[in-house]
Amino acid sequence: MEKVCAVVVGAGSGTGAEVAKRFAEEGYGVAVARRNADALASLVEEIEQNGGQAKAFGADASNETEVATLFEEAEHALGPIEVAVFNAAGITRGSILETTVDAFDLMWRASALGGFLVGREAARRMAARGRGTILFTGATASIKASTNFAAFAAGKQGLRAVAQSMAKELGPKGIHVAHFIVDGIIDVPRVHEMMPDVAATKGPDGLINAKSIAESYLWVHNQPRNSWTFELDLRPSIESW
């Protein structure tokens, strides 16, 4: 295939890493990004050992200059950006009586502002070519604000609003924007470390496999223009919703 690039912002050890690996398997040069680029060394090595191409970048998704530099350097190193995935993580929990302005601002920046900056930089490049896909990772809180999650939900619902507005504006320009509501606990090592009882109770089919999420992202990216999905919710069959 033509040399093209997929940018994955928030390429940790779970969903972001699996999305990066899946697109690399499809022949995309993958730019993986998180605040600390050194933490991505093992992911880049794994992709390269499996015959793919990847490059790590350090960038704070809520920093306008760093996001712009990321996209500029990724496109220069790996080719035209065909796919951009915003998967930046971060969560805070606490009573509204105790939530600080700093905590609330941090969640807004991590989700809504970060998604806006990543989406904007991707769209600026894709619009000139009339094609591309921008995918945003949401959560249960994207549509349901639970007790003690005011700051987190505000950030995630803000991200969903950004994605929806972008989808309506950019669809006619040939850019597919989609938002994923990941409604459940993702099966990653830190879940088994931090919540062993929960992981054991839910069992293998009660946790969302990150590889399955990656398959859904690739499927949405490959949808024909006459049948695009904006929002897709993913949850285990036993999840209460």
Residue 163: C-alpha distances to residues 52, 91, 174, 216 (Å): 29, 19, 15, 17
CA distance linking residue 155 with residue 145, whole number of Å: 11
Q: Give the residue-averaged pLDDT of 199-223.
A: 91
> How confident is the model over 18-39, as pLDDT tens digits?
999 999 999 999 999 999 999 9
CA distance linking residue 219 with residue 238, whole number of Å: 23
> How confident is the model over 135-175, as pLDDT tens digits?
999 999 999 999 999 999 999 999 999 999 999 999 999 99
For residues 22-39, one letter each, b for 16 or more C-beta atoms within 10 angstroms of the residue's C-beta and e for the rest, the string is bbbeeebbbbbbbeeeee
Instruction: Please tell me the total number of residues recorded for the chain in this structure.
Output: 241
The domains found in the chain, sorted by start residue, are 5-229 (3.40.50.720)
> How confident is the model over 165-198, as pLDDT tens digits?
999 999 999 999 999 999 988 888 777 777 777 7
CA distance linking residue 205 with residue 50, whole number of Å: 28
More confident residue, 83 or 185: 83
Burial group, residue 95, by CB count within 10 angstroms (0-12, 13-18, 19+): exposed
